[in-house]
Structure 1
């Protein structure tokens, strides 16, 4: 089984922002979730893995390939769907996918035609293959993005915030497709939707301020804070006081009043109630509780 091994990867931009700080991860076949707030370093890591930018320090090994040294070899086996990707709105799905197949080196016309047909069926776009891409919905565009990423039969598939703006039906269809692909491919899913990582990924990592602050399976992560999350409904005027006196990990409004979740090894009393922890609590405890 091919593994992706990231060792002590660091990247600092010219403006001084430390996008990655000694990031180390070991990723095997299946779907791997990457969580983190905006600016955490997720996209920098994705682009580095896809050989679209350089790291300052560290190593990335994919099987026998040194990604940072053998970029051209890695590009033969990697598929990448960025958060935003451009399409030619006046071209049809079939025409553009055929053109992209040529760019990816599928020169034999019969082989190329078969591959394009296969992928259009796989992403459920074959029936609209003659339709202009400018008329596609957001979900259809994302599925086309996956089709182009799969042209070279990748062994490593990287998808960056792939379901932003999709409705629940499109999102589920998209994730079912990714789950199928992940059976014999490493799929790295960068997202801000915590529940999706819990439902889809066998392993995960949380990145904050360029550092890996947690890695492991979602179940292990949830078990690590079991019995340590507490909730309470408070008045808005009390919020500042609770933020000062407790490790506040999340807050949201219910019927106009804040309900807060705190992290505490022991019962904090003061009318707090125990909460059955979920991955969102894990995420917020790592991002805001440290």
Structure 2
């Protein structure tokens, strides 16, 4: 069974910035969501798994293979779409993907041609395969990024903040593509966008300040906070006082007036009514509690 095991992983950068703090995760085949705010340590964890940087402590194994000790072997079964993915704007999609395939060690010309064509079909880019990448939209570039990540049929695929900057239609197309490839490999989706995890992942973890603060199945995690979240329309001048007294997990506006959500196991204060609960409330409640 495909499995990625991360044990006691820690990483500190220069000037004492602790990017990873004793991270422990076990990830099987399918879509796994790693959710956290910007600067939480997500990209540091993804780069470490992808063999692009060393950890200070801990271990990573992929199907029993020591990721840290056998980097070259891991790279043969790894697909990676980083947060910043640069492309050559004056090269066509088919030519650049063919070049990446050669770099991946696919030297048989017939095999390479079949694989490149199949991946362009899979990512819905075959019709524009001869178009230069400089003319691609953001969503098309991300789908090309997935195509290059899938070369050599990887056992592990890492995608880091893949939908940031995409419009709703492009995001939905990307969701569909990721859900398809999640059937055949371990897919780690690293994001700060709650909807990405809500739409795609059957298992997830929340990371903040380098620590995993919650992990499990989204639906079960949502059940744990049901009946504990309440909301109220308030005046802007009251928000600071409510923050002092209650665990305010979210603030938004409704008809021009602030609407706050609190989480409590006690009876709600006067004027608060039960709130609908989703993954957003789980996420925000964890971040607030982590800072208390």
TM-score bucket of the superposed structures, by smaller chain: over 0.9
Which residue of structure 2 lines up, in the alignment, with residue 194 of structure 1?
194
Per-residue CA distance 1:226-265 (angstroms, 9 max, x = gap):
1111101100010111011101111012222110000100
- Confirm or deny: 8 A CA contact 2:230 2:272 kept in the other structure: yes
Q: CA deviation at 1:54?
A: 0.6
Which residue of structure 2 lines up, in the alignment, with residue 31 of structure 1?
31
1:134-153 correspondence to structure 2 within 5 Å: 134-153=134-153
* TM-score normalised to structure 1 length: 0.98
Per-residue CA distance 1:174-193 (angstroms, 9 max, x = gap):
11111111112000001122
- Confirm or deny: 8 A CA contact 1:229 1:263 kept in the other structure: yes
Report how many residues are paired.
Answer: 290
Q: CA deviation at 1:288?
A: 1.5
3-state SS of paired residue (2:289):
coil
- Confirm or deny: 8 A CA contact 2:2 2:185 kept in the other structure: no
Which residue of structure 1 lines up, in the alignment, with residue 163 of structure 2?
163
- Confirm or deny: 8 A CA contact 1:263 1:289 kept in the other structure: no
Per-residue CA distance 1:123-179 (angstroms, 9 max, x = gap):
111111110000000000000000001112101000001011111111111111111
Whole-angstrom CA distance in 1 between matches of 2:223 and 2:79: 33
Which residue of structure 2 lines up, in the alignment, with residue 51 of structure 1?
51
- Confirm or deny: 8 A CA contact 1:79 1:156 kept in the other structure: yes
Q: CA deviation at 1:111?
A: 0.8
Per-residue CA distance 1:42-79 (angstroms, 9 max, x = gap):
00001111111110000101112010111111001010
Which residue of structure 2 lines up, in the alignment, with residue 178 of structure 1?
178
Worse overlay, 192-201 or 122-131: 192-201
- Deviation >4 Å, runs of 4+: none
Which residue of structure 1 lines up, in the alignment, with residue 205 of structure 2?
205
Which residue of structure 1 lines up, in the alignment, with residue 271 of structure 2?
271
3-state SS of paired residue (2:189):
strand
Which residue of structure 2 lines up, in the alignment, with residue 115 of structure 1?
115
Q: CA deviation at 1:276?
A: 2.4
Whole-angstrom CA distance in 2 between matches of 1:200 and 1:87: 26
3-state SS of paired residue (2:25):
strand
Per-residue CA distance 1:176-219 (angstroms, 9 max, x = gap):
11111111200000112212212210100000000000000001
Which residue of structure 2 lines up, in the alignment, with residue 9 of structure 1?
9
3-state SS of paired residue (1:165):
coil
* TM-score normalised to structure 2 length: 0.98
Per-residue CA distance 1:1-55 (angstroms, 9 max, x = gap):
1110100100000121110000000000110001000100000001111111110
Which residue of structure 2 lines up, in the alignment, with residue 95 of structure 1?
95
3-state SS of paired residue (1:289):
helix
Whole-angstrom CA distance in 1 between matches of 2:125 and 2:92: 11
Structure 1's unaligned 5+ residue stretches are none
- Confirm or deny: 8 A CA contact 2:46 2:160 kept in the other structure: yes
3-state SS of paired residue (1:238):
helix
Whole-angstrom CA distance in 2 between matches of 1:162 and 1:46: 13
Matched, 1:223 2:204: no
